[in-house]
């Protein structure tokens, strides 16, 4: 049986580790170049090829993975001039691993299915470290036959691959997952600020919560920043968080749902980005909320551009 040829767009923080695992599992890999040449050149040195355009990538591959910022980038890559749709042939499978908008995913799937092209969504759970280790989880929205086609390739970088429904279902669940975690992030920030208002330190706060029923993996990476000021403890920017929460709001609007808590959480991250903190990582929302409340949780690490 001929080896499946893989294309990859978005070899950044998460994508580089995913692409590296595909190479190590024996899949022929072609990547689309990016202004950040380091990850591209590393993958080429490991045996990958580089395509000149998205259309060229589509024409050369059986499965193309996307791991980009969000819906705007996905739509441009697929529908844009010289995009994937322009070079795609019947039988191509496109798998969007970005955190994107379910409404766009459903529309792209309908458009491409009519041309014999499968569009699947497979947003991810995990960190860049887990991406490098091949230990991510993937929630896949796809037609049953398309899922069976793409599952072996996804398994190269994900130890947990779950078929959650039709195209769009994966992105829906990913948004809800991010709403939960980012909601916790906003709640932790407010709780820490209120504690500081009455002289309770983050260390004392943590001594009560850590190991209790309210502890979890997200709490641990969040508090690693708060307590140790490790800016890389949880590498996901406030700008990306705000983007995902806008998508949650859009989903609520599209379905006619009331999202009382979601709107409030979105506004916490919107305010942070409005204050120029979009490049900060998610646990640093604690510093933003503390500052608004006139307290400090500790020294705020300086980053390039701050």
- Is the pLDDT at 176 greater than 80, yes or no? yes
- Is the pLDDT at 121 greater than 80, yes or no? yes
Write the pLDDT tens digit of every residue in 282-291: 999 999 999 9
- Is the pLDDT at 261 greater than 60, yes or no? yes
pLDDT value of position 22: 97
Q: Which residue has the higher pLDDT, 13 or 295?
A: 295
Radius of gyration over every alpha carbon of the chain, rounded to an integer in angstroms: 20
pLDDT value of position 172: 96
Write the pLDDT tens digit of every residue in 41-61: 999 999 999 999 999 999 999
- For residue 248, the SS3 value is helix
Write the pLDDT tens digit of every residue in 15-36: 999 999 999 999 999 999 877 8
How crowded is the C-beta side of 37, counted as CA atoms within 13 Å? 0
Question: What is the end-to-end Cα distance of the chain in Å, rounded?
Answer: 53
Q: How far apart are CA 70 and CA 178, in angstroms?
A: 14
Q: Where in the chain is the domain with CATH 1.10.1040.10?
A: 172-292
Q: Give the H or E element holding residue 268.
A: helix 260-274
The average pLDDT across 135-153 equals: 97
pLDDT value of position 2: 62
E strand map for 48-203: 49-51, 63-66, 93-96, 118-121, 124-125, 136-141, 158-165
209-239 burial, b at 16+ Cβ within 10 Å, e below that, comes to: eeeeeeeeebbebbbebbbebebebbebbbb
Instruction: Using the structure block, give the residue that is written with the tokens 């699947």.
Output: 120
pLDDT value of position 306: 47
The average pLDDT across 228-235 equals: 94
Query: Residue 126: pLDDT band by 50, 70, 90 thresholds?
Result: confident
- Is the pLDDT at 305 greater than 60, yes or no? no
pLDDT value of position 33: 80
Catalytic positions, please? 174
Q: Please give the CATH topology (third level) of the domain spanning 172-292.
A: 1.10.1040
The average pLDDT across 118-142 equals: 95
pLDDT value of position 303: 61
Q: Please say whether the structural domain 6-166 has been given the CATH code 3.40.50.720.
A: yes
Q: How far apart are CA 121 and CA 67, in angstroms?
A: 11
Q: Where in the chain is the domain with CATH 3.40.50.720?
A: 6-166
- Is the pLDDT at 80 greater than 80, yes or no? yes
The average pLDDT across 269-276 equals: 98
- Listing DSSP states for 32-88 in one string gives E--S-HHHHHHHHHTT-EEESSHHHHHHH-SEEEE--SSHHHHHHHHHSTTSHHHH-
Q: How far apart are CA 50 and CA 55, in angstroms?
A: 12
Q: How far apart are CA 60 and CA 84, in angstroms?
A: 11
- For residue 237, the SS3 value is strand
């Amino acid at each position: 049986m001929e080896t499946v040829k893989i294309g990859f767009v978005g070899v950044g923080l998460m994508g580089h580790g995913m692409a590296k695992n595909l190479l190590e599992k024996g899949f022929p890999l072609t990547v689309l170049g990016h202004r950040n040449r380091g990850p591209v050149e590393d993958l080429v040195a490991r045996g990958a090829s580089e395509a000149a355009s998205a259309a060229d990538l589509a024409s050369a591959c059986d499965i193309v993975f996307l791991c980009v910022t969000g819906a705007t980038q996905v739509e441009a890559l697929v529908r844009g001039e010289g995009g994937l749709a322009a070079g795609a042939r019947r039988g191509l499978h496109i798998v969007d691993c970005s955190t994107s908008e379910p409404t766009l995913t459903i529309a792209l799937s309908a458009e491409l299915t009519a041309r014999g092209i499968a569009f699947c969504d497979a947003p991810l759970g995990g960190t860049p470290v887990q991406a490098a280790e091949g230990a991510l989880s993937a929630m896949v929205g796809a037609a049953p036959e398309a899922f069976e086609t793409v599952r072996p390739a996804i398994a190269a970088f994900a130890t947990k691959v779950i078929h959650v429904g039709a195209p769009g279902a994966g992105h829906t669940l990913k948004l809800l997952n991010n709403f939960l975690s980012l909601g916790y992030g906003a709640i932790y920030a407010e709780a820490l600020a209120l504690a500081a208002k009455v002289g309770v330190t983050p260390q004392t706060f943590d001594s009560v919560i850590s190991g209790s029923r309210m502890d979890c993996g997200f709490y641990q990476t969040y508090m690693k920043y708060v307590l140790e000021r490790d800016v890389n403890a949880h590498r996901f920017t406030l700008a990306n968080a705000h983007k995902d929460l806008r998508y949650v709001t859009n989903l609520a609007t599209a379905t006619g749902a009331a999202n009382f808590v979601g709107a409030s959480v979105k506004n916490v991250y919107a305010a942070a980005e409005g204050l120029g903190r979009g490049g900060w990582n998610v646990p640093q929302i604690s510093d933003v909320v503390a500052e608004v409340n006139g307290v400090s949780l500790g020294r705020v690490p300086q980053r390039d551009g701050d």
